[in-house]
Every structure is written in C-alpha cells, then in structure tokens.
Amino acid sequence: MWLLDQLAEARITEASVRGELDDLAGAGRPLVLDDDIMVPEHLRVAYRVLKNAGCVPPQVELLREVRDIEALLRGVDDQPGRRALSAKLQWVSMRLRASGWRQDDLRFEQAYYDRLQHVLGGG
C-alpha cells in the first residue's frame, strides 16, 4: 500500500504543478468527511446506507435509552419506582454490553464532556 500512496502523492504533486488543481469547486473550504473510522470496515457500507435512511445502529438506541433511564432515576424519589427503573437500567445496560459496546468507556467520555463543558462555562 505504501507504493500506492507514493504514486498518488506524485500524481497529485504533478497535477498541482501543471495547475490542474487550481479553481476547483470547494477550494479553500474544509472537506466534509463522514468519520466512520470507528466502524469496522466490513460494516461501513451498511452503516452508511442506514445513516442515509435516517436509521441509527441499535447500540445508539440502547445508549439513548440508558441516558433516558438515568435521567428518570435522578428525578424519582419513591423506592418502588427507583427499583423498577434500576432493573430496567440493568437490563438495557446488559443488552448494550452484549452488543460489544463498553458502557464504562461511554460514561467516562460523558463525564469528561460534562467537566469540560463546566470548565468552559457552558454548564
């Protein structure tokens, strides 16, 4: 692959010297890239199709559900209600872990985001 990279760079440089890359549409503006580096290569096409159709991966739906339940738990004072929500949270968390997502990592990222937002004055 390294040889292919060198060849591509050489062709780009040659085209730039000849002026073939001047006045391209979108010149001077940042590229809009879909960052799918965290999606396994064999799933990228399927995820892109689903994304374009407005669907989200099941793990994202489960993550949303976890956050909704956690928000509800913060507002519930009665013990039976807390117990029911806690059981549901455990069930959804188990499904999320079974799908391959590590909820601890996600909570760490959320905690980091919350602290950063607080430090920057947004929260």
- pLDDT, tens only, 32-43: 766 677 778 888
Contact assessment for residue 66 and residue 92, using Cβ atoms and an 8 Å cutoff:
yes
Q: At what angle do helices 103-119 and 79-98 cross, to 10 degrees?
A: 110
Band of pLDDT at residue 54, cut at 50, 70 and 90: confident
**Most confident region among 8-12, 20-24, 104-108 by mean pLDDT:** 8-12
Residue in the block written with tokens 């950063």: 116
Amino acid at 106: L
Spell out the domain ranges in the chain: 2-119
Residue in the block written with tokens 């994202």: 60
Is the pLDDT at 120 greater than 90? The verdict is no
Which helix (DSSP H) or strand (DSSP E) does residue 32 occupy?
none
Tokens of 76: 């519930």
Specify the pLDDT at position 10.
93
CA separation, residue 87 to residues 66, 83, 104 (Å): 12, 6, 18
pLDDT tens for 68-93 read 888 888 888 888 888 888 889 888 88
Average pLDDT of the chain to the nearest whole number: 80
Contact assessment for residue 89 and residue 70, using Cβ atoms and an 8 Å cutoff:
yes
Specify the pLDDT at position 17.
94
DSSP state of 29: S
